[in-house]
Chains A and B, each alone.
Chain A
Amino acid sequence: EVVLTQSPATLSVSPGDRATLSCRASQSVGSNLAWYQRRPGQAPRLLIHRASTRATGFPARFSGSGSGTEFNLTISSLQSEDFAIYYCQQYNTWPQTFGQGTRVEIK
């Protein structure tokens, strides 16, 4: 199965700062990668699919990039509601797999 490695495990960021999260795949997944946001006490929400397509309801400060084995999620100016755990997921190869998550916390 495809192993997704997210880094860093925890990212400490000040409000207003830029955050870049990484997701590396053990083999190419093309552009078939999604990102999910999980706020405390809530279920995960689809944030990005097809590596760079933002889901409905998320502002433009969220952007995804990459293809093949290297992907990034960038939050251009962190707001209080963005402090959460972010997971990447590949759906190119069965079974679909997730990364272990990156926790974005307030510095």
Chain B
Amino acid sequence: EVQLVESGGGLVHPGGSLRLSCTASGFTFSNNWMTWVRQAPGKGLEWVANIKQDGSEKYYVDSVRGRFTVSRDNAKSSLSLQMNSLRAEDTAVYYCIAAAGGVFNFWGQGTLVTVSS
């Protein structure tokens, strides 16, 4: 059974930092692009970042580029999202996703990030 378990969410002040983690099991992690998607309260789903199987390519939505960094450790089947200079508009549930060809095949349950003073 495929499992993606996110952790690291919580309450952080504007300008602060947070690191999200995702642990994968039940599939060959190193064969998949991995993705972070978020959903702000009352809003739709928004793609945030992608990372290629070997970590050699990374892509970000404009609103987080330069502030967020996605990384992966294939030996540990883990994905991370380092979030710096957080803003109120980054408040959302963040989902870790195993992707292929742009399709989001498997989703984690999500972790809530709240940016508030």
| Interchain CA distance A49-B105 in the complex, whole Å | 9
In the complex, chain A residues whose CB is within 8 Å of the CB of B27 = none
What's the least CB distance linking B48 to chain A, in Å? 9
Q: Which among A32, A42, A92, A98 is the interface contact of B46 at CB below 8 angstroms?
A: A98
Residue pairs across A and B with CB atoms within 8 Å: the count is 44
Which residues of B from 97 to 116 have beta carbons under 8 Å from A? Answer: 101-110
Out of A32, A34, A42, A100, name the residue touching B44 (CB < 8 Å): A100
Complex Cα distance A98/B84, Å? 25
Could you give 25 example pairs across A and B, Cβ below 8 Å?
A34-B103, A36-B104, A42-B109, A43-B110, A44-B95, A44-B104, A46-B104, A46-B105, A46-B106, A55-B105, A87-B44, A89-B45, A89-B104, A91-B101, A91-B103, A94-B59, A95-B47, A95-B59, A96-B102, A98-B44, A98-B46, A98-B47, A100-B44, A101-B44, A101-B45
Query: Residues of A at under 8 Å CB distance from B?
Result: 32, 34, 36, 42-46, 49, 55, 87, 89, 91-92, 94-101
